[in-house]
Amino acid sequence: MEGKQKQSFEGSVLEWVETILFAIIFVSVVFTFAARVITVDGRSMEPTYYHGDRVLVSGYAGEIDQGDVVIVIHALQEPIIKRVVATGGQVVDFDREAGELMVDGQVVKGEAFGIENGITFVPDAAGQVLEFPQTVPENCVFVLGDNRGNSTDSRYVSVGMVDHRNILGKVVFNLYPFSKMGRPA
């Protein structure tokens, strides 16, 4: 009788070990290829995201559209988090008097992205900023930080138009702080 209990216990332990190993491998594969947890670095996306916020990013979340928040790589030293405001074929300009973004000749007020109206300007930095209007090339996007006065984004030559191949993925879920947990607005 004691031998059967020992075999039963060993079998149970082996089943648990197998289940735990499978779970670890599954989670590792998912977080290596399908999704990543990214910690926001900097203030360029305030008030949407603050320094230290954590988001889940997926490269398999479908088409990248106007309004999506994406992680851009190979633009600056570190990956950056920005909002897509225009996609391939669209014309980007700025209404300098109103302080607003214009896409295809239409004013896109800040409130469309959950930020203040009248805060979107072309920085006064000769030689460092693109000339506008600009047409976004196919397979590229134009990105801006939500904190428009404190964001190095597509307005600057150093970032410019972002090729789709340089987008790690888009934000699909807010993880931290817990008060903002859930799908992005």
* Catalytic residue set: 44
Cα separation, 79 vs 73, whole angstroms: 5
Cα separation, 158 vs 138, whole angstroms: 19
From the list 168, 152, 148, the residue with the least C-alpha distance to 64 is: 168
Q: Which residues lie closer than 8 Å to 110 by C-beta, 6 or more apart?
A: 100, 101, 116, 117, 118, 119, 120, 148
Query: Cα 147 to the chain's mean position, in Å?
Result: 14
